[in-house]
Structure 1
C-alpha cells in the first residue's frame, strides 16, 4: 500500500484487500459537509444523523456506473421524521433533515421511531426510476444501511460512520463472493480490526494512514480518490415553471393575501421571492 497521505479534502478513496477479496472505501467530507450545514441550525443529534447518512450515501453512490441520480429517504415517526440525501454519478451531493426544534440527545431508534428507508435510483438509460423500500432496521444509521445492503446486494457489508460540525466520514467494507475460498477467516478478521477504529480517527486520519493503522498486516490496493462536492445551485427558472403550472388565478390569490409569493426550497435551503410585477410578467410571457 502506498505511503501517500491525502490532504484534508472531500474524497472517496476505494480500496481492495487483494489476497482475501474484500473491497472497501473511505470517505471524508469537509467543505462539502460545511456547505450542506450552512444556515440550517440543526441540533446536534440531527447533525449527527444527517452527517452519517451523507457519508454513506456518497460511499454507495461511488459505485454508480452510469449517469444518474441516487436518492435515499429515511422517513420515521420520531422527532427526526425525515432525512433526504441525493447524489449523482459525479458525486455531487445535496441533502436535508426535518426535525422538531430544540431536540435533545437520544438513542437513534428514539430519534427516528418506526419508519422506512427508501432508495430511488434514476438512471438515464432506464425507462423509469427504480425504487426499493425497506423498514427501518437497526440501532444506528450504519446498521440500518448494513441491513439494507445485505438484503439488496446479498453481500455482507460493514459500515463505520462518524460526524462532527466540521467533518463527516466513513469506512465501507464488503465481502465479495469468492472471499471465503481465498481466506475463510478473512472477513471475520477484517471486521474485528475495523471495530477498533475510533470516531476521531475516522474524522481526522487521512484515508491511507487510517488503513495502515487498522490493517497493518493486510495487502491493500488503494485506488485513486474521487472528489465529492456539495451541489445545490439556485434554479429560479424551475420555480417559475412551477408557478406557471399553478396558474395565474392561484398566484394572484396568494399575492392578494400576502403581497408577494415566497417559495422555500427545503433540500437546498434557497428562498425565492416574487413580486406582483414579476408574476404579471411571468404570465405575460407564458
Structure 2
C-alpha cells in the first residue's frame, strides 16, 4: 500500500474546497539513483506535489504533463501524472546550482507548459503557465486563480524525505455564506510550517489549521509510481537503428546504455544482447480480419 496520499476536503460552512497531498514512498522512488542539488530536488518535489493535486481533478482517463524548460541551471523539468494518480518525473540540471535561489534563477528565461492528453481529443490541450512568482506555489496559485476564475491558495514543501502541497479554492457561494471566510482561512493556512506539511497526517494537519471550522474529509486516494520497464519497446527502438549502428556503439563504448529519464529505468545491452536482437525476428503485428 502506498504511503503517498491525496486527501480532498470541504470547509462546508464556508463553501471552500481543498486538497492535501503528501508524497513519501513515491517521492523516494522518484529520487532513487538521482543525486540532485537540494534546490533542484525541492523544485521537482513541489512540482510533483502540485501536479498530483491538479491530476486529482481529472474525471476521466488522461494524462497531465507539466514541463518546465529554460536556459538556466535547470534546462528541463518534467512531471507526468495520470487520472489514476500514477506519477513520474525528473529534472535535467547542470552542476552550477549552489545554495537557495529563486525559480527564475534556476530556469532563466524559461517556459512552463501544462499539457492534458485524453482519449478522444484530436490534439492534446496545452496551456502556457506564466512564471509569475518566486516559487512553484505562487506560480500555480496565480495560474489557477486566473484559469478557473476562482481565488486559490497553495503551500508546498519538499525535502529529501518527502514532498507536499496544501491547496485551497474559494467557491462561488463563499462570500454569501461568510464574507470574511476566505480571508480567515487563507491567513490560517499561511501559518503552516514545512515540517507540518511533511510530517503530519492529513487529518491531523487540517484539524490543527482549521480547528474552529467544519472540515469534511472526502475519500483519500493513493498516489503511486508504477512504471514497469518496457524491454520490448527498447528492443524495437534499437532494432530500428540497424545492426551496424549498434555494433559501432558497442565498439566505442563496450555496451549500449539506454536511460528512461521519466520513468527512472536503465537498460543495458552488451554484444551478446545485440546479437540476440537480430537472431530472433521481431513479433509479427497481429492482423484483424
TM-score (norm 1): 0.91
3-state DSSP of counterpart to 1:13 = strand
Match status 1:144 vs 2:139: yes
3-state DSSP of counterpart to 2:27 = helix
Equivalences for 1:272-283 in 2 at 5 Å?
272-283=267-278
**Once the two structures are superposed, what CA deviation does each residue of 1:81-102 show, in whole Å capped at 9, x if it has no partner?**
2221111111111111111226
Distance in 2 (CA, whole Å) between partners of 1:215 and 1:165 is 28
Match status 1:90 vs 2:87: no
Contact (CA 8 Å) 2:39, 2:99: kept in 1 or not? yes
Contact (CA 8 Å) 2:30, 2:264: kept in 1 or not? no
Corresponding residue number in structure 2 for 1:198: 193
Distance in 1 (CA, whole Å) between partners of 2:148 and 2:239 is 42
TM-superposed CA distance for 1:8, in Å, is 9.6
Corresponding residue number in structure 2 for 1:3: none
TM-score (norm 2): 0.90
Contact (CA 8 Å) 1:16, 1:220: kept in 2 or not? yes
- Structural RMSD (CA): 1.9
Distance in 2 (CA, whole Å) between partners of 1:79 and 1:10 is 29
Corresponding residue number in structure 2 for 1:44: 38
Gaps of 5+ in 2: 283-289
Match status 1:171 vs 2:166: yes
Distance in 2 (CA, whole Å) between partners of 1:152 and 1:201 is 29
Corresponding residue number in structure 2 for 1:10: 4
TM-superposed CA distance for 1:262, in Å, is 1.7
Contact (CA 8 Å) 1:114, 1:136: kept in 2 or not? no
Distance in 2 (CA, whole Å) between partners of 1:172 and 1:134 is 17
Contact (CA 8 Å) 1:120, 1:129: kept in 2 or not? yes
Aligned partner of 1:68 among 62, 75, 79: 62
Distance in 1 (CA, whole Å) between partners of 2:53 and 2:226 is 16
Distance in 1 (CA, whole Å) between partners of 2:230 and 2:21 is 29
Change (3 A) 1:240 1:180: same
TM-superposed CA distance for 1:39, in Å, is 0.9
Match status 1:230 vs 2:230: no
TM-superposed CA distance for 1:113, in Å, is 2.1
Distance in 1 (CA, whole Å) between partners of 2:240 and 2:17 is 47
